[in-house]
């Protein structure tokens, strides 16, 4: 089976391609030329993958990408914080680009099935409700990203193609990342569900090939160990990276955020993808420190001050409301 994967060198994409290859499928990887290191592409897949350079904002480039594909796995999307900083470009990529890809597929590969990657963010603010979220729960856009995901979902559903939708839990990239201000926009009490990128890729690859996938929405998340509060989630990473315990609660927003735990019972029963729990996620990211690990204790006070300096809420007077969008 020939599978086109858009965003093939992204966080979920590269693990999806790996799993598709392992399962014996032929893979065409659609990448945006500016986003990919050609040497890294060669190192990872060599000649096992057909690479096509295309741009969702340039519909004419999509024809060669979709021709002959039996399944299109659409993972390419602008995500936070970039989509929040560049909303117009994000709409052209996320919404208009999904429409263009659907149209190109319908015209040049009309028999292809279309698998779209969505997000747990589409349920809106649900921390006041008992978990978990289920696929038939009402959705509610809360920002540019979730708005685009819901609009793209609607485009997929209304297309003439055979479709499936995967709503993913949080997928922490397996790389060392610096702190960003958006990390403080989530209350420490917020529920969040994670999944190891390897498991996310395996779930996507198996869904792309499974007869039960189509015409349905699926939740894709890690096992029970991956269902945490944001405080526990962040604290575990900080501890593993040698950065000490949790950051002060006063540095974090108190406004509800759009994450929650997902009901993954059916997707796990059908796709059998949950292999790596939260301990493995933390250990795999911490291992990337390598030779730097002995020096983290020395850098800890500086790094923690640097992180707190990024929080707009930490700078507020004691007792002031820590409300998102009002700092």
* 32 vs 86: which has the higher pLDDT: 86
CA distance 42 to 24: 19
Least confident range from 42-46, 126-130, 193-197: namely: 42-46
Average pLDDT of 106-127? 97
| Three-state DSSP state, 175 | coil
Burial of 214 (0-12, 13-18, 19+ CB in 10 A): middle
CA distance 74 to 6: 5
Please determine, for residue 12, whether its predicted confidence score (pLDDT) is greater than 80: yes
Name the pLDDT band for 34 (thresholds 50, 70, 90). Answer: low
Q: What is the topology classification, in CATH, of domain 2-175+195-224?
A: Rossmann fold (3.40.50)
* 258 vs 42: which has the higher pLDDT: 258
Name the pLDDT band for 35 (thresholds 50, 70, 90). Answer: low
Convert the pLDDT of each residue in 54-93 to its tens digit.
999 999 999 999 999 999 999 999 998 888 899 999 999 9
- CB-based contacts of 295: which residues, under 8 Å, 6+ apart? none
Please determine, for residue 37, whether its predicted confidence score (pLDDT) is greater than 70: no
Please determine, for residue 43, whether its predicted confidence score (pLDDT) is greater than 90: no
- Whether the CB-CB separation of 58 and 101 falls below 8 Å is answered with no
Please determine, for residue 152, whether its predicted confidence score (pLDDT) is greater than 90: yes
* 274 vs 83: which has the higher pLDDT: 274
Residue 33's pLDDT is 67
- Whether the CB-CB separation of 178 and 189 falls below 8 Å is answered with no
Using CA atoms, how far residue 169 sits from 40, 123, 232, 238, 241, in Å, is 27, 12, 16, 20, 22
Task: Write down the H helix ranges in 51-120.
Answer: 62-66, 82-85, 87-91, 97-108
- CB-based contacts of 113: which residues, under 8 Å, 6+ apart? 70, 71, 72, 161, 162, 163, 164, 208, 213, 214
Report percent pLDDT > 90 for the chain: 82
Residue whose entry in the numeric block shows the structure tokens 């966080």: 11
Long-range contacts of residues 123-129, Cβ cutoff 8 Å, at least 24 apart: 123/258, 123/260, 124/258, 125/256, 125/257, 125/258, 126/258, 126/260, 127/187, 127/189, 127/190, 127/191, 127/256, 127/257, 127/260, 128/256, 129/260
Residue 36's pLDDT is 63
Name the pLDDT band for 32 (thresholds 50, 70, 90). Answer: confident
Please determine, for residue 327, whether its predicted confidence score (pLDDT) is greater than 60: no
The continuous run of DSSP H or E covering 223 comes out as: none
Please determine, for residue 8, whether its predicted confidence score (pLDDT) is greater than 70: yes
Please determine, for residue 170, whether its predicted confidence score (pLDDT) is greater than 90: yes
Could you tell me which residues are beta bridge partners of residue 29? 5, 51
Please determine, for residue 128, whether its predicted confidence score (pLDDT) is greater than 80: yes
Task: Write down the H helix ranges in the chain.
Answer: 13-22, 38-45, 62-66, 82-85, 87-91, 97-108, 144-158, 197-209, 230-240, 265-271, 278-286, 296-309
Average pLDDT of 8-33? 94
pTM for the predicted model, two decimal places: 0.95
| Three-state DSSP state, 72 | strand
Convert the pLDDT of each residue in 213-260 to its tens digit.
999 999 999 999 999 999 999 999 999 999 988 899 999 999 999 999
CA distance 315 to 327: 9
Residue 84's pLDDT is 86
């Amino acid at each position: 089976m020939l599978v086109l994967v858009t965003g093939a060198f992204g966080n979920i994409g590269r693990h999806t391609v790996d799993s598709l290859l392992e399962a014996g499928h032929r893979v065409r990887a659609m990448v945006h030329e500016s986003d990919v290191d050609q040497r890294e592409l060669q190192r990872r897949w060599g000649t096992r993958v057909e690479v096509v350079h295309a741009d969702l904002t340039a519909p004419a480039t999509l024809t060669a990408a979709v021709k002959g594909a039996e399944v299109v796995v659409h993972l390419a999307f602008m995500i936070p914080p970039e989509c929040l900083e560049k909303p117009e470009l994000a709409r052209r990529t996320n919404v208009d680009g999904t429409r263009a890809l659907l149209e190109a597929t319908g015209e040049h590969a009309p028999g292809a099935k279309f698998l779209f990657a969505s997000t747990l963010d589409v349920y809106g603010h649900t921390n006041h409700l008992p978990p978990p979220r289920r696929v038939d729960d009402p959705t509610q856009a809360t920002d540019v990203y979730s708005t685009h995901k819901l609009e793209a979902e609607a485009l997929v559903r209304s297309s003439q193609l055979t479709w499936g939708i995967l709503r993913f839990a949080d997928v922490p990239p397996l790389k060392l990342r610096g702190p960003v201000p958006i990390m403080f926009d989530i209350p420490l009490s917020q529920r969040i569900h994670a999944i190891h990128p390897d498991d996310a890729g395996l779930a996507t690859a198996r869904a792309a090939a499974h007869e039960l996938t189509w015409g349905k929405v699926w939740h894709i998340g890690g096992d029970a160990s991956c269902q945490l509060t944001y405080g526990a989630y962040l604290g575990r990473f900080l501890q593993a990276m040698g950065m000490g315990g949790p950051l002060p609660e006063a540095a974090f927003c108190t406004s509800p955020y759009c994450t929650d735990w997902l009901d993954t019972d059916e997707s796990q029963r059908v796709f059998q993808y949950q292999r790596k729990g939260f301990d493995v996620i933390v250990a795999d990211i911490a291992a990337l420190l390598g030779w730097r690990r002995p020096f983290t204790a020395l850098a800890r006070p500086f790094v923690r001050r640097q992180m707190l300096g990024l929080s707009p809420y930490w700078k507020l007077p004691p007792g002031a409301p820590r409300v998102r969008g009002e700092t």
